[in-house]
Structure 1
Amino acid sequence: MPTTSHTRADSRAMPLAVSVLGLAIFCLHTTEVMVAGLLPSLSAGLGVSTTAAGNLVTVFALGMVFGGPALTLALMRAPRKPAMIMMLVLFLAGQTLGALAGAYWVMVLARVLTALATAAFFGLAASVCAGLVPPDRVGRALAVVFGGFMVANVFGLPLATFIDQLMGWRAAFWTVDVLVALCLVLVLVTVRSPAAPGRPDLRAELSVFRSGRLWGAFTTNALLIGGVFATFAYLSPVLTEVAGFGAAVVPLLFVLYGVGTVIGNVVLGRLADAHTMRTLWLGGVVLAVLLGLYALVASNQALTLVALFLLGFTGLPLNPAMASRVMRLSNSGALVNTMNTATICAGVTLGTWLAGLGIDAFGYHAPMWVGALLAAGALATLLVARIADRRPFWRA
């Protein structure tokens, strides 16, 4: 995160540190999402229901919601590089505990620890990333960092699912442990601390949270990603129980979803800087319609393939646009970015919880309907924001 060199800041090439941060996000996000591919094994191995195993996604999200901002506040006066290293070490501890878990409550504790580390690291990474590039390239730089999310869906989630089928879910947890350890070394080598870190102004950091527009942006982000995860958290049983795919094919289907996220991240990341609001509007509309249609065709395997790719293309790749909007309404500080992550995770919590209730009451079509309703709610918040700004909704 060096910011003392104008040469680096003015360079049109992305600094290597940005890619390293993206790799770190990949490692951390793989643990967050891989539960979706391990649900049957975790359910059997821990002796709990599929819904209870799915709630491990909710537990992770809750840890990020409540623990992330508090931990970031505690780290406000710490240099950013040591703070990131501490978070990676904490993550390793939690991931190791999860790999050794013999009871459900131990796994819950492991998910909380990894969630705390992930939330704080995300905020630090986004803040560092924004300081490495000129303002007109923040969206693209964030697309590289948040590309870790997308690559985790392309390679991390399917790899974890494949390892689970080959050697069991514990082996999947240990694999992520090794990846995070490697990432820690790369962060140590490539990310440099500022030459003279300034003393953070806590009052200034907190004052931005008085903005109603900022909280509106947080709400939009929470509902959009909550809608995505309402479906994503239960994709594995939906694909096998509703569409009738064999368990051995599921990792390949996750790859298809992940390829959609990578392509979407490239396209939407470039649009995030110049057309932030248009990107969010279009993405929200497509997401709401897509999830509703997916619920109707989920038993058709050919249409399911199309839906998976489009869900990947439209869902998580909205992250750069969401983050750019938040920074424009506030600042690029770690606390703001951590709060953005926390509110998104609140949406994930809501989405996965409602999807679980829907499954118990109506079956495996419910997650898509829940996701569509949450995406529609996000569009409503964008409309309120446009009315409050007294500008046409299509303006960036």
Structure 2
Amino acid sequence: MPLMISIVFSFVIFCIETSAVMVAPMEFDLAHYFGVGISEIGYLVSIFAVSASICGVVFSLVLFKFSKKKVLLWMIFVFLVGNILTGFAQTYAMIAIGRFISGSSFVIIIGFALNIAMGLTSEENHGKIASIILAGFLFAPAFGIPLVSFASHFLEWRYLFHLVSLILVVSFVFVAWKVPATQAIEASFKNEFVSFGRVTLWMGYLTIALLTASVFAAYSYLVPIYENISHIPASYMPILFFLYGVCMVVGNFIVGRLAHQHVISIQVIGFICLACVFVVFALWADSQIFAFVCTMGMGLFGLALNPAMVTRIVRSSNNSAFVNVFMAVVANGGITLGSYLGGLALQKGFSAVSPLQIASFLALMGFLSVLPYLKERF
């Protein structure tokens, strides 16, 4: 039963993550339809991310006493409302509101899905369960976005949002059907936040932030690096990103199987490998072969470490819903920070490979954040 529920949750996360980032391959279509610039369309991603961070914290504070299954269903419904509004948007303001509404439930869905699944399985299986659920994140860039990009050549952009909405309706039904009912709990703010006094939990959050920041400092600017330095033809880039996604999925499941017994050591090794990948990429970015190999390395050693991160957070806490929601907020903050730092370096006139250099530095910081706990048992 936990396996089936985890697969259902993974599918839900695949849908909402695809919806979250599917604006990117449709930027030109959206800009043309709404009569705005590409930067304004890019702001839609920022609006989603800000809403996810702020509303995620606020909602979790309000909803933690309620039945987790009911909260999850309501949040999927809220996301669905925002996605439908986005699909029917006639103005830029309307699509921005739709993105904000969908974003408001994003991290709650992730946090409560993890919380429910972890509560249904034994501790030694937490890593495996996390790898299955979080695979939805990785399938989105590997399969969801390429499919959206392909379908956008044949369908108007709004029909793609409607398609995601339809799939979310099916997901809603599966969650309502397959996930066992959970009772509202007699919880208090003190019990919910007791884990936040632990240094190990905050160090775990720091590591997650550094991981996502390092990956997205590089990932956000791969296209200009491919085009201007590696001189990879545009026709090869979808294949490259697809292979990147496949490597993430493979790495995710490997880490998930190892996370129970090697939760810290696998993070240490992962950060070392990730930092080396970024250094090599920065030094030999003008080589197409190195660009391909290093992109695969980013997939294997980057976000694929997430199951180990989640296992560490769960073991450092009481597995409260807010702990998991805040973990998603921290990861979201890391994404924003990494993208900002990479862009800032380029804006200030640094080398075109400066995002890779920043990514390597952040990966090194991630390694240092884990190193003190190498001999401790989680």
Out of 46-55 and 365-374, give the one that drifted further.
Answer: 46-55
Residue 367 of structure 2 is matched in structure 1 by: 379
Q: Is the 8 A contact 2:211 2:366 kept in 1?
A: yes
The alpha carbon displacement at 1:34 in A equals 3.2
| Alignment equivalent of 1:325, drawn from 290, 293, 312 | 312
> Which one-letter code corresponds to 1:20 in the other structure?
V
Q: Residues 145-169 of structure 1: CA distance to partner in whole angstroms, max 9, x if unpaired?
A: 1111122122112112222344354
After TM superposition, give the deviation of residue 227 of structure 1 in Å: 1.4
- Is the aligned partner of 1:210 residue 2:197? yes
Structure 2 CA distance, aligned partners of 1:158 and 1:215? 36
1:312 equivalent among 286, 299, 319? 299
Encode CA deviations 1:321-356: one digit per residue, 9 max, x unaligned.
111111111121111000111111111111112222
Q: 1:238-317, aligned counterparts within 5 Å?
A: 238-317=225-304
> Please, which moves more after superposition, 109-118 or 45-54?
45-54
Describe the superposition over 1:218-243 as per-residue Cα deviations: whole angstroms up to 9, x where unpaired: 11101101211222234445444544
> Is structure 2 residue 172 aligned with structure 1 residue 184?
yes
Q: Please, which moves more after superposition, 197-206 or 87-96?
A: 197-206
Per-residue CA deviation, residues 245-300 of structure 1 (Å, 9 max, x unaligned), is: 44444332221111101110111111111101111111111122212322333343
CA distance in 2, matches of 1:303, 1:236: 15
Residues 153-187 of structure 1 deviation map (CA, whole Å, 9 limit, x = unaligned) = 22112112222344354443333222222211211
**1:115 paired to 2:71:** no
Residue 163 (structure 1) aligns with? 151
Change (3 A) 1:103 1:315: farther
Q: Distance in 1 between matches of 2:103 and 2:352?
A: 27
Look up the SS of the partner of 2:166 in the other structure.
helix
Give ranges in structure 1 of 5+ residues lacking alignment. Answer: 1-7, 9-13
Q: CA deviation at 1:45?
A: 5.0
- Native 8 Å contact 1:292 1:368 kept in 2: yes
1:11 aligns to what?
none
Within the alignment, does 1:63 sit opposite 2:55 as a pair?
no
In 1, Cα distance between the equivalents of 2:87 and 2:222?
A: 23
CA contact under 8 A between 2:214 and 2:362: conserved in structure 1? yes
Relative to structure 1, the CA distance from residue 46 to residue 368 in structure 2 (aligned partners, 3 Å threshold; closer, same or farther) is farther
Instruction: Decide which moves more: 126-135 or 208-217.
Output: 208-217
Q: CA deviation at 1:42?
A: 4.7
Deviates more, 1:224-233 or 1:312-321: 224-233
Shift in CA distance, 276/37, structure 1 to aligned 2, threshold 3 Å: farther
Q: Percent identity?
A: 30
**TM-score, length-normalised on structure 2?**
0.90
Q: Provide the C-alpha distance between the structure 2 equivalents of 1:152 and 1:192, rounded to a whole number of angstroms.
A: 26
Separation in structure 1 between the aligned mates of residue 52 and residue 232 of structure 2, nearest angstrom: 33
When residues 303 and 56 of structure 1 are mapped into structure 2, their CA distance, relative to the original with a 3 A threshold, is farther
Distance 2:329 2:22 in 1: 19
| 2:134 maps to amino acid | F
- Structure 2 letter corresponding to 1:28: I
Q: 1:30 aligns with which of 2, 5, 18?
A: 18
Number of residue pairs the alignment of both structures matches:
377
CA shift at 1:94, angstroms? 1.7
Match of 1:334, as an amino acid? A
* Alignment partner, residue 343 of structure 1: 330
SS of aligned partner of 1:199:
coil
Q: Indicate yes or no: 2:214 matched with 1:227.
A: yes
**Structure 1 position 309, deviation (Å):** 1.7
Partners of 2:67 and 2:185 within 8 A in 1: no
- Are 1:90 and 2:69 matched, yes or no? no
Distance 1:40 1:380, change over 3 A: farther
Q: Is the 8 A contact 1:218 1:340 kept in 2?
A: yes
Who is 1:4 aligned against?
none
CA contact (8 A) 1:55 1:352 kept: no
Distance 2:24 2:122 in 1: 37
Amino acid at match of 2:114: A
Q: Which of 42-51 and 135-144 deviates more?
A: 42-51
Give the conservation status (yes or no) of the 8 Å contact 1:37–1:236: no
Counterpart position of 1:3: none
Deviation at 1:54, TM superposition (A): 4.2
Q: Paired residue for 2:68, among 66, 80, 96?
A: 80
TM-score by length of 1: 0.86
Contiguous gaps of at least 5 residues in structure 2: none
Query: Retained in 2: the 8 A contact 1:276–1:325?
Result: yes
CA distance in 2, matches of 1:39, 1:310: 28
In structure 2, the residue matched to 1:198 is 185
Q: Residues 184 and 224 from structure 1, CA distance in 2 versus in 1: closer, same or farther, beyond 3 angstroms?
A: same
